[in-house]
Amino acid sequence: MMAIEGKLSFGVKKMNGEQANHLGGGGAEVTSVALQEEEVLRSHLWLCRRRRCSGGGGAEVTSVDLQEEEVLRSHLWICRRRRCSGHICGSAGGGAPGGRHNGRRMLSFRHTYIFVYNLLQFCGHTWILTNIIARFLSFGKDGLVDMFHSVGLVMSLCQLLSFLELFHIADGIEKARLLPRLIQVTQKNVLLMTVILLEELQSQSMVCLLFLLWNLQDLLRYPHELLCLMDRPSVSMLWSRYTLWIPLYALSAFTEGFTLYTALPHISPVSPPSNAQNSSLTTPTHLHFVLIGYFPLLLLGASVTVWQLLKERRHYLDKWNKKRK
């Protein structure tokens, strides 16, 4: 009994000293020492509860036992709070109370911003997908003719906002690789600008299929991001995000290339005459060579992106399996 009380007093004194260093030391990162302290406190609390419940060999529970248990519980709560909010103190800088509050406000603003962004993208792509399916079920193939005029504006806004994701990754708000995201955003916006410039493409079924694939990809990614921001990750969403997303991206890249190939006959590589009436001749002539040069870039970018996506899939699924074990 005396040995337990001596260890308990030593643990309490050590915790008090570490807590003082934490409050005045300058916001250091959480280390394995903090986890060891929490484990020691948890073991002492378990011993104290066991001693109180068993009565210590028939002895009555005294106020000292209750006080020791209360002190242990309070220090364990402080240790858990410090471990959970250690990254906030570290990012605030200086370790001062004002710095910690500024860090919490900054983290809260960044968390709210990225949550609202993902929610807006999710709602936008859900609306587009619902509109495409509803028009196809109501009007059949005839509903695909003017499909771009009904969803083109919302699709353009969503793809224009996707440029912000590059800044999210560069700033550290979103944990992802910059190169694959840059290739994906560039591919989508280049092809979307081509469809906007060429009215002949807007009524083709390939554009509708391309929009459908884009929305399926984003509806696999944004719900997963929202669940992670709410600290409620789902293993099914994780698997879908990093498994089904890869063939969908490969299929969409192939569809993008085929759509650009069908756009080439509508673009004349020679200078148009002044009295031309054909819309394919009124298109800027340099766009023809730009699209031809874009094909090898599309193939190279798609190959690099698939390779990076396979690495991300292996990394995140292995990380999830380690957590379960």
Contact 110, 173 (CB under 8 A): yes
Share of the chain residues as helix, strand and coil, in percent rounded to the nearest 5: 85, 0, 15
The alpha carbon of residue 154 and the mean position of all alpha carbons in its chain are separated, in whole angstroms, by 22
Choosing from 117, 222, 242, 249, which is the catalytic residue? 249
Within 10 Å of residue 273's Cβ, how many Cβ atoms? 9
In whole angstroms, give the CA distance from residue 177 to residue 283. Answer: 36
Amino acid at site 218: D
Alpha helices, H only, 140-177: 147-161, 164-171
Choosing from 18, 37, 68, 256, which is the catalytic residue? 256
CA dihedral over 171, 175, 177, 180, signed as positive or negative: negative
- Asked if 256 is an active-site residue, the reply is yes
For the annotated catalytic residues, the residue numbers are 249, 256
